[in-house]
Structure 1
Amino acid sequence: MHRMFEDLLSNSDDDEGSSFHWSKVDENEWPIHLEQYRNRIVVRFCDYTGEFVRFVREASAYRLWSKSEGSKLFIDIEMEQDALPELISSFQNLPYKVIIEDLAQSVFESYPDKQERKMRATTEKEINEPTYQITEDIIRISKEEGFHAASEIFFKDYRPLETIQAWLDLLVQAYPELVERQYLGATPEGRKYDHIHIRSPNGEHKDKRTILITGGTHAREWISVSTSLYAIYEMVNFYSQYPGLDAALRLDFIIAPLMNPDGYAYTWSNDRLWRKNRQPTEFSGCVGIDIDHSFDFHWTHSSDWACGEDYSGEYAFEAKESWLWYQHMNTTKFHHNIWGYVDLHSYSQDILYPYAYSCDDQPRDEENLIELAYGIAKAIRQHSGVYYDVLPACIDRDSDLIPDLGAGTALDYMYKYGAIWAFQLKLRDSGNHGFLLPAKYIEPVGLETWEGIRYFIRFILSDDRYS
């Protein structure tokens, strides 16, 4: 076997995991109903063929988690454990490894550990309640010790929607002249749909350059939400330290850390691995549209059925979140040029550049676009040693195999109609966790991604071709 495949299929993680098995815990203590994941596994295949990819994408028995066509070359598939023998007999000689042997346990461990808190003695600095609903604690710590002390606690774990909203409120209170929450509208389930606007309090600059960052488009990608929030935290620290710096005056940030609030809330209450929004469709029993298939650039009707994870809706911008974002983006573009767009997802450690819908259409400034992507990857690698591959989004989306899989993406739409430079970053990891990346990686991923974003910012500030 090639060494690359050996590395990808090896047990490279040293996490000990929880000492509590979900089946031994009282059902009332489960974060969500875990029986839905019983006997399910996640399998990694390497050195696969296009025929194999098409088969698993179109077969209802398999749920594709992620794939990478870069130096890593893998595809991860969720399935019932009894389905594996038939699959490997149909496609013989494919290197594979079961990377998650007990999906229910991995899901259980991905939530903040209520059980561990109940078992250990509390200290003066510990959270009061033995539950992951710590909104009141974050607010209390902010009042008693300041916003930064509260943020240290906040980024120690993944947080439910209500805690994120509370932290964002505290952010605005701490930096009222710097940060604004802008309301875009209501989600399909009636939640507030907004984003964070960060700008210098020292007036307008004639050469204002806006950068947009989005996260949480797909609900199960929790690390993209945490990383977006971490970027917000780093930005306000920068502005507060250098308020009069020319770079600060020239920059304008719009960050939407929760592009899919309804879906994200659903991952905390019902299904940790939910992907789409929670919008009703015209098909009874099928809920949700893939927001990242809903934008009006080469939108096509999805070949996936309405209950499928890639369902694009019946027309462009049917996903309400994509429509609200489109409306606000046009308003923003009217006031300032949008220079950069970074769409955070997970997982596979890839930097994707346009286009997703087809590999036949070459992006403008392709050479510079690729060079910039490699610069971002280098900045990340120099900070943490973590490698990100660079490739066109069409390859990641398998647009050559099933064309509609790359249709209607936010990346393509923003690059074509909104931003001068646009990328999608698929964050960590490429190891054995997939969407269930442990909380201990929140700060490392946040820091390394911020280094990549800083490189992107420096490039935009130095680029005079589109002034």
Structure 2
Amino acid sequence: MLYYKILSLILVQVVCTIQFQVPFSLGSWPEKTSQQHYSQIDSKDHPVNLNQYKDDYLIRIDYASNPDLGKYLITNNGTIKFNKWNKNVKQQTIDIQINEDNMSKLLQEFNNDVNFKVIIEDLSQTVFETYPKNLIQTKDEDVLINSELFFQDYRNLETIDAWLELIQLTYPDIINIEEIGETYEHRKYKIVHFTVPSEQTLDGHGDRRTIVITGGVHAREWISVSSVLYSIYELIELYKIDPQSKIFRDLDFIFIPVFNPDGYEYTWTTDRLWRKNRQDTVHPRCFGIDIDHSFGYHWTKSSDWACGDEYSGEEPFEALEAKIWEEYLNNTNSDHKIWGFIDLHSYAEEILYPYAFSCKEQPRDEENLLELAWGLAKAIRMQSGTNYQVFAACLDRDADLLPDLGAGTALDYMYHNRAYFAYQLKLRDTGNHGFLLPPKEIVPVGREVVASLKYLFHFLVDQD
């Protein structure tokens, strides 16, 4: 009876040529027609095994009037199986991926005092619709040389690498792709260095202010990857229009489009909702460390077990990607201060500032951090009308509830050790898609990110 009760409750509550000159005019294009249902397509043609999501829903739970429920969902220490996707600080809601049977158990656990609604009812289909229709992407030259096509879909790792190599070939004086390490699965770890040659730098000695923009720390957050790529494209466009801009004279840029190459590739071949990297752990049947819990500043061993999404490893910098980045900074930029660090994630439409590990620790220059954060939010609002909220990262991470939830983040590590200004931007949306943002949102979100970056750039070069 309870099984059918929860089922009925859920139903009721569902509310180029090689002469790649970047001839990019990113006007609007016709929205892609809806894909047919995955069940009507031979399973051998599915991008991944879509049946693994068949019985799951994405449920949004309002815990404002039930703090015990909120704590239970945040810590995820009970026997009820679900995957926590996100928490909205302002709305006091938590999104979880759960099946009907476990949702029934959750209702029973809290005496039906659970206010919820279904956000995604057909999770398999929603996952399916995030993949391009043409998965063999690198064989299509038009995709590589035409931005309207390139940014019309999410792109796999092979296609991204091909696109970046083509940009480097076209703009060898300003774009340099560096291989700074190798992942657990032996993929090259790449960063994109964007520097415009100039004899007139900030202090006359080449001491430019470095900006770092990263995406794809968590593998399933595809919109963060596409937004870094879009930012590279827009910076090239700005350079073509005004190569003498103070931005290029005084700043240089490091982009890491895919901070987690192994995990990102895994989302394209096996599990679209994978979060961690793919290295071995202490548990022989569990793979992956949450890279954003692995940095060596206020690192704490997580309460999550090795198979959990937030497993931090057994020691700081155990995640190879975090270690590669730390070694690169120490070996090549040991005396070079980074002025801005922007780490793109999804989803929530938030701008988070340090610290994540504790709400009791006050960051240096908190007033300036907040001023710039609200400036970034305003730039996004002026560009698209989207309202990004500004929070201390500790609130988003629930560090007041469990200290390990906010431990070992790239945000805190970079702010404490390297960067004058450091932020994590959690991109769209707050609505009905979560990590599965439709491809039609790639360009609008990219434009929001670029608007915020331009504000940051001018904030740094105009304050003199």
The two structures have a TM-score, normalised by structure 2, of 0.88
1:103 aligns with 2:106: no
Q: What does 1:368-447 align with in structure 2 at a 5 Å threshold?
A: 368-447=368-447
**Which of the residues 44, 49, 60 maps onto 1:33?**
49
Gaps of 5+ in 1: 1-8, 114-130
Aligned equivalents of 2:77 and 2:211: distance in 1? 37
Larger mean CA deviation between 232-241 and 358-367 belongs to: 232-241
Match of 2:139 in 1: 136
Could you tell me which of 160, 170, 180 is aligned with 2:156?
A: 160
Q: Where does residue 213 of structure 1 map in the other structure? A: 213
1:53-92 paired onto structure 2 within 5 Å = 53-56=70-73, 57-59=76-78, 61-70=81-90, 72-91=91-110, 92=112
In 2: Cα distance, 1:17 partner to 1:298 partner: 48
Residue type matched to 1:172 in 2? Answer: Q
Q: CA deviation at 1:141?
A: 6.4
- 1:201 aligns to what? 197
1:357–1:394 CA contact under 8 A, matched in 2: yes
Deviations, residues 142-197 of structure 1 (Å, cap 9, x unaligned): 6xxxx4xx222111100111000000001101111010001111110000101100
Report Cα offsets for 1:82-140 as digits up to 9, x if no partner. Answer: 22233234334443111111211111111113xxxxxxxxxxxxxxxxx22221213x5
Cα offset for 1:330? 2.7
| C-alpha distance in structure 1 between counterparts of 2:443 and 2:85, whole Å | 23
Q: Residue 400 of structure 1 aligns to which amino acid in structure 2?
A: D
- TM-score w.r.t. structure 1 length? 0.88
* Partner SS state of residue 372, structure 1: helix
CA positional deviation for 1:50: 4.0
Report the residue type matching 1:326 in the other structure.
E
Kept in 2, the 8 Å contact 1:208–1:336? The answer is: no
Report the counterpart of residue 52 of structure 1 in structure 2: 69
On the 8 A contact 2:14/2:121 being kept in 1, the answer is no
> How far is the alpha carbon of 1:16 from its aligned partner?
9.9
Map residues 181-196 of structure 1 onto 2, 5 A cutoff: 181-196=177-192
Deviation at 1:266, TM superposition (A): 0.2
Match of 1:289 in 2: 289
Alpha-carbon offset, residue 242 of structure 1? 1.9
User: Alignment partner of 1:400: what SS?
Assistant: coil
Quick one: distance in 1 between partners of 2:124 and 2:143? 33
CA shift in 2, pair 1:16/1:239, >3 Å: closer
CA distance in 2, matches of 1:335, 1:398: 34
Check conservation: 2:247, 2:457, Cα contact below 8 A. Answer: no
- State how 1:218-367 maps to structure 2 within 5 Å: 218-334=218-334, 336-367=336-367
Q: Contact conserved, 1:198 with 1:236, CA < 8 A, in 2?
A: no
CA distance in structure 2 between the partners assigned to 1:110 and 1:36 by the alignment: 16
**Cα distance, 1:365 vs structure 2:** 0.8
In 1, Cα distance between equivalents of 2:140 and 2:70? 46
Partner secondary structure for residue 284 of structure 1: coil
Which residue identity lines up with residue 155 of structure 1 in the other structure? F
Q: Is the contact between residue 14 and residue 118 of structure 2 (CA under 8 Å) also seen in structure 1?
A: no
SS of 1:136's equivalent in the other structure is coil
Displacement of 1:73? 3.2
Asked if 2 retains the 8 angstrom alpha-carbon contact of 1:339 and 1:419, the reply is yes
1:242-278 CA deviation, whole Å, 9 max, x = no partner?
Answer: 2222331111100101000000000000000000000
- Identify which range, 170-179 or 51-60, moves more after superposition: 51-60
RMSD after superposition:
1.8
Alignment of 1:42 with 2:47, yes or no, is no
SS in 2 for 1:334: coil
CA shift in 2, pair 1:385/1:405, >3 Å? same
| SS of structure 2 residue aligned to 1:424 | strand
Equivalent pair of 1:68/1:350 in contact (CA under 8 Å): no
Verify the 8 A CA contact 2:218 2:276 in the aligned structure 1: yes
2-structure distance, mates of 1:282, 1:47: 35
Question: 1:312-352: per-residue Cα shift (whole Å, max 9, x none)?
Answer: 01100000000111111234533532100000000010100
Between the aligned partners of 1:323 and 1:357, the Cα distance in structure 2 is 19
Q: Where does residue 167 of structure 2 map in the other structure? A: 171
8 A Cα contact 2:156 2:265, kept in partner: yes
Native 8 Å contact 2:143 2:150 kept in 1? no
Query: Is 2:63–2:70's contact at 8 Å kept on the other side of the alignment?
Result: no
User: Aligned partners of 1:440, 1:203: CA distance in 2, in Å?
Assistant: 42
> Secondary structure of 2:129's match?
helix
